[in-house]
Amino acid sequence: MSGQPVRPYLWMLQASVFFSVMATLTHALRLWCDWQLIAVARSFSALVLTALFARVVGERVLIWRPFTLWIRSFAGSVSMVCTFYALTRLPPSDVLTLTNMFPLWVALLSWPLLGEPPPGHVWLSVVSGAVGVVLIQQPHLARGNFAVVVAFGGSFFTAVAMLGLHRLRDVEPRAIVVHFSAIALCFCVASWFLFDRPERPSQTPWGWAVLLLAGVGLTATVGQVWLTRAFAAGSPARVSVVGLTQVVFALVLDLALSFRRLEPVSLLGMGLVIGPTAWIMSQAPRHDALPAPPDTADTDSAS
């Protein structure tokens, strides 16, 4: 990282803290709120807070181009739906371990996108990650918990979103967050009608629930802004390495709040996922791995 500005990595570290807190609050809300409601609160809060702040400082955030922006927002929205579903059914540290596998997907996507088969060490890392997922999911799938598969699938869409995000470096970060939050809100509202919602206890402490929902929205908004700035300004591979600290922060919160117990098999699984992932990202070239889409040269923000 020598010779490179350190700020993008500090921004990603701050984003990791906020996302870990958001994941912990979401998991705590599982007893009182449907995951669809939590997801709607998260996307709506981010949309309103970011749009209001941008208006105060006089920034233009209603943009329609480039097309990469839509790819980023759609992929990120699917990833969000998957993540919030999983966070209400699994410990946050497990979910963040699975969703942070996206660099392995990026390495594999280089084959169809660039025609470059992944080298041997990438395939070894993929196998290690797959074994790690099996070890993490073993106790959950034994109970018929489908959330592990959903979180794993969400990591693929995160990879697509992150590939697009670095291409949007010339677009104002708050404009990207507003666009993503608006699309994500549509996805989350649709999920309210498309997926079942279990019955909740009638004695829901709505005071606490509203407070936690507000916390989810605030931490997600701040974390999203820091993440967007970090990926736009820094090397995506190296920024992603710093992003893996989410798992550490979430694990500490899990243990502190008794969301999980330290199980050697699960910890081994986390290591098999995080270790190869971090290694692949640290070995990635500092220049862009993928060619820019044809329209990214035109960053005119047409409203």
Backbone angles phi, psi at 68, to 5 degrees: -55, -30
Q: To 5 degrees, how large is the angle CA 51–CA 56–CA 61?
A: 40
Q: Is the dihedral of CA 236, 110, 275, 151 positive or negative?
A: positive
Torsion from C-alpha of 120, 286, 69, 233, nearest 10 degrees: 150
Q: Provide the pLDDT for residue 271.
A: 80
Q: Provide the pLDDT for residue 127.
A: 76
> What contacts 133, CB < 8 A, 6 or more positions away?
98, 101, 148, 152, 269, 273
CA distances from 140 to 99, 135, 227 (A): 16, 10, 30
Distance CA 221, CA 228 (A): 11
Q: How many CB atoms neighbour CB 241 within 10 A?
A: 21
Distance CA 211, CA 46 (A): 16
Do 91 and 215 form a contact (C-beta atoms < 8 A)? Answer: no
If the chain, 303 residues long, is cut into consecutive pieces of 10 residues, what is the mean pLDDT of each piece? 68 90 92 89 85 73 76 91 91 84 72 67 72 68 70 87 74 78 91 78 74 90 84 71 81 79 74 73 51 38 33
Q: Provide the pLDDT for residue 50.
A: 79
Do 267 and 208 form a contact (C-beta atoms < 8 A)? Answer: no
Q: Provide the pLDDT for residue 288.
A: 44
93, HSE (Cβ side, Cα atoms, 13 Å)? 25
Residue found by looking up tokens 């004695």 in the block? 203
Q: Provide the pLDDT for residue 281.
A: 60
Q: Provide the pLDDT for residue 116.
A: 65
